[in-house]
Amino acid sequence: MSLNLITSYQDSGDRQQLEKLISEYSYLVKKQVDKVNYPSISGLNRDDLISFGVIGLIDAIKKFDINRNVPFEAYANIRIRGAILDGLRKFDFVPRNLREEMKTLHSEYRKLEQKLGRTPTNNELAYQMSISEAELDKLWQATNCVIPSYLSDYITAEEGELTLEDIYPDSNSPDPQSRIDEKTTKQELGQAIDTLPQKEKLVLSLYYYEELTLKEIAKILELTESRISQLHSKAVLRLRGKLAKKKLDL
């Protein structure tokens, strides 16, 4: 019934049909919104993110091709997630001073990790940065709020599953060599993820592959949401460092 309604709307452009489809698939938008973390300083609220997501849902309804034998939900999820991330990036809610503090955190973390030959503890990192552990915890949470776009771009599906490009190749997309480079980057990312500590790897898997929220992951692992947020941030930071090093080595 829903697929018939989608094709009917695409043919007629009937507003009532569109509203019915939005209502039916609104749960997809809410699911994606629940995965996004945004700080109170952003001025954004949940309704703003839902608005971004609805734009993606409408785009999916208009562009979905029933003849490709792809589940609408899979296609719509990618469009919705992309619209939410685009909305957040355009909003650019992170103040300049916070960006500078986050850069310092990333830099000092990598220096300390290289010096110690292991993951630095919060106590060691806070001492290195001359801040309290409470201040460090706030920085970790802020880091987690900045969308790691390259992860969202590359970890959109498990191995063998479909990504947006697989479903609808873009005629304006990069040349074949660029596609090969992108595939290589995705493979390198997968290899880098395999080297992460088990807990960080598990958090990334549950968050990006299973699409659980940080709160849901915290419940499963019996940890606080703050701790899960921190593990996610550390994993992202570690991956950035590993991928950057690979590029320098090439």
Do 169 and 229 fall into the same domain?
Answer: yes
Task: Choose between 25 and 119: higher pLDDT.
Answer: 25
Whether 126 and 135 have beta carbons less than 8 Å apart is answered as yes
Let me know whether 193 and 244 are in one domain: yes
Statement: residue 234 has pLDDT above 90: no
Burial class (CB in 10 A: 0-12, 13-18, 19+), 156: buried
Residue-range definition of the domain harbouring residue 128: 94-139
Residue pair 29/57 in contact by the 8 Å Cβ criterion: yes
Name the amino acid, one letter, at 122.
N
Residues 177-232 pLDDT 10s = 444 455 555 677 777 788 888 888 888 888 877 777 788 888 888 898 888 888 88
**What does the alpha-carbon distance between residue 52 and residue 46 come to, in Å, rounded to a whole number?**
10
Report the number of distinct structural domains present in the chain. 3
CATH number at residue 32: 1.10.1740.10
Q: Looking at the structure, tell me whether residues 109 and 52 fall in a common domain.
A: no
pTM of the entire predicted model: 0.54
**pLDDT surpassing 80 at residue 14:** yes
Give residue 55's pLDDT. 94
Round the CA-based radius of gyration of the chain to a whole number and report it.
20
Tens digit of pLDDT for each residue in 80-124?
Answer: 988 887 887 776 556 677 778 878 888 898 888 889 988 888 899
Distances (CA, A) of 239 to 25, 158, 235: 34, 18, 6
What is the pLDDT averaged over residues 126-132?
92
Query: If you average pLDDT over residues 50-64, what whole number do you get?
Result: 93
Q: With beta carbons less than 8 A apart as the criterion, state whether 213 and 34 touch.
A: yes
Kindly state whether residues 162 and 234 are assigned to the same domain. Answer: yes
Q: What is the CATH number of the domain that holds 128?
A: 1.10.10
Q: Is the dihedral of CA 16, 20, 25, 30 positive or negative?
A: positive
